[in-house]
A and B are shown apart, each in its own frame.
Chain A
Amino acid sequence: MNLTLILFYVLAVAAVATATGLLLSRNSVYAALFLVLNFATVAIFYLLLGAPFIALVQVTVYAGAIMVLFLFVIMLLGAEKLPRGQVLPWQRPLAIGLAALLLVEAGFLLYQRLQTTAILAAPGAELNTTATLQTLGMALFNQYLLPFEVTSILLLVAMIGAIVLTKQVKGEQA
């Protein structure tokens, strides 16, 4: 039982707890904050796996930018308190059915993998210390150039879409 393994279990409990908190809290500001905590614990997982770049990007992009925008929208719309509201009659059985399906699938995969090899190397067993900015950049721009460019075009299209949607037509008041 080394230190990394203890840290892993503590973080695993924290990640599951924050995810549960996100689902169960009735106040959507609290739900968003639970999600931020969840992102932070996942970032520490990345650090444990020896990927500091991914960890910090996770914090900057997800916790720092996207979740702030979520909070912004929640507060701007005043949608903090979820109403008790009606539940769609078919929603609950469908959700239970799909969740059961997912569990069965995950269990089957786990069972199959267990028979061939160990699922994963033990956390912290071999730290990939080569994940520097240079190697990452080289991999992105050589080996994965096409997916990288496709992603950038997708993001550009989304950006243009947002601008077009919010553009004011001349003479029309906002």
Chain B
Amino acid sequence: MNFALILEWLIKAIVLVLLLLGGFAYLTLYERKALARIQMRVGPNRAGPWGILQPIADAVKLIFKEELMPAQADKLLFFLAPVVTLVPALVITAVVPWGPTLHVFGRDITLYIADINVGVLYIMSVASIAVYGIVLAGWSSNNKYAMMGGLRSTAQMISYEIALGLSFVGVILLAGSASMTEIVTAQKSAWFVLLQPVGTVIFLIATLAEVNRAPFDMPEAEQELTAGYHSEYSGMKFALLFMAEYDKMIAICSIAATLFFGGYREFWFLSNTILSVDRTPWLGPIYIFIKIFVLLFGMIWVRATFPRIRYDRLMAFGWKVMLPLSLALIFITATFILLAQQLNNNLLLAGIPVVSLLVGLAAIVLVNRMLRRKEYARA
């Protein structure tokens, strides 16, 4: 362990954190612009050309706001909660590879911070720790609305974490490894979204619930809970909670891009050309950035389109639809991988998307029939 290696790690970590912090600022602008266009508005356009200085204006406003502390709040936890919320959102991206190995100044520089052989599990454990910030923010505010928001988010995040974890298993089975770089390498011939279409949808739905985005933004449902767990927060403490939410969005999209959409690898029509990652490695970060950008648009689009779903239905959906469906997917994936290995025919892997799409379709039909039943509509 020499000095240059430590310096390299430090630089990479600092660059990543700075990217996430800058990305947060411009993600808010991106979201406001996209939402505005979907709703036939113009969006922020006053600060700088096309409103590109808007995030800076927002930051200056938040810095100069007065910080309020409720008199009956638990001071220590009220102060710590925004930090506890933000840190998992920043450290979760440590295992996401941003590109292949670069050769610069006679050194091999890997474009990831850590490649641990249980990378996917690391993501699971950091995601499960992320609940604490929200729950503590809700409790320490000593406010009924904030508390309800915190409790709701706990129940929601724990429920959807199970479907999230199970949707990882299909990918691990296909790649034969839980290391993020090996998962990306395994997608050289085909992105896992082609082999795991239903798994991808389950992952995306579960992550929407994990980061408390619409239509699963129950913890901060305005009509019922004012602003949920961050009702009592103002100034930079509020900004930290806000930042955590948007950094979680970026992190989740980078994980989705890595697990299901080929990571830093080129698009399928560019393989074997000069633009492929194998020939020009520095294109890797650009490819993953494009994928994250598109996935983020998907999240914003969902927010603009779907109404918030009722809380009991949210829990019922998580436990009674997502969990059995993802278990069935694991069974299907494992069966076809075993068949392909035993019969030595890799074409059998094509059975995974076919059968899993059929099962997904059956699930949609069943949910639809269940919703039509009278006693359910009354509940």
Contacts and interface: CB of A to CB of B under 8 A. Distances in A.
B128 A75 contact: no
B135 A71 contact: yes
A42 interface: no
Question: In the complex, which of the residues A33, A56, A57, A63 has the most CB atoms of chain B within 10 Å of its own CB atom?
Answer: A56
A165 B150 CA distance: 26
B129 A76 contact: no
A53 interface: yes
A56 B129 contact: no
B128 A59 contact: yes
B161 interface: yes
Interface residues of B, number: 27
A76 B148 CA distance: 9
Contacts of B127: 64
Nearest to B131: A68
Question: In the complex, which of the residues B125, B127, B139, B178 has the most CB atoms of chain A within 10 Å of its own CB atom?
Answer: B125
Interface in A23-53: 29, 33, 36, 52-53
A56 B147 contact: no
Contacts of A64: 124-125, 127-129, 131, 161
Contacts of B147: 75
Contacts of B124: 56, 60, 64
A101 to B, nearest CB: 37
B11 interface: no
Given A75-B150, A75-B151, A133-B118, A69 B158 contact: yes
Interface in B96-153: 116-118, 121-122, 124-125, 127-129, 131-132, 135-136, 139, 147, 150-151
A33 B129 CA distance: 12
Interface size range on A against B: 20 to 34
Contact of A60 (B121, B132, B135, B154): B121
A52 B118 contact: yes
Contacts of B139: 29, 71, 75
Interface string A62-103: 011100110110011000000000000000000000000000
A72 B147 CA distance: 10
A132 interface: yes
A65 B121 contact: no
Interface of B: 74, 77, 116-118, 121-122, 124-125, 127-129, 131-132, 135-136, 139, 147, 150-151, 154-155, 158, 161, 172, 177-178
Given A56-B124, A68-B158, 19 more contacts: A29-B74, A33-B136, A36-B132, A52-B118, A56-B122, A57-B121, A60-B121, A60-B128, A63-B125, A64-B127, A64-B131, A65-B161, A68-B131, A68-B132, A68-B154, A71-B132, A71-B135, A75-B147, A133-B178
Interface of A: 29, 33, 36, 52-53, 56-57, 59-60, 63-65, 68-69, 71-72, 75-76, 132-133
11 contacts: A53-B121, A56-B124, A56-B125, A63-B125, A63-B128, A64-B161, A68-B128, A71-B139, A71-B154, A133-B172, A133-B178
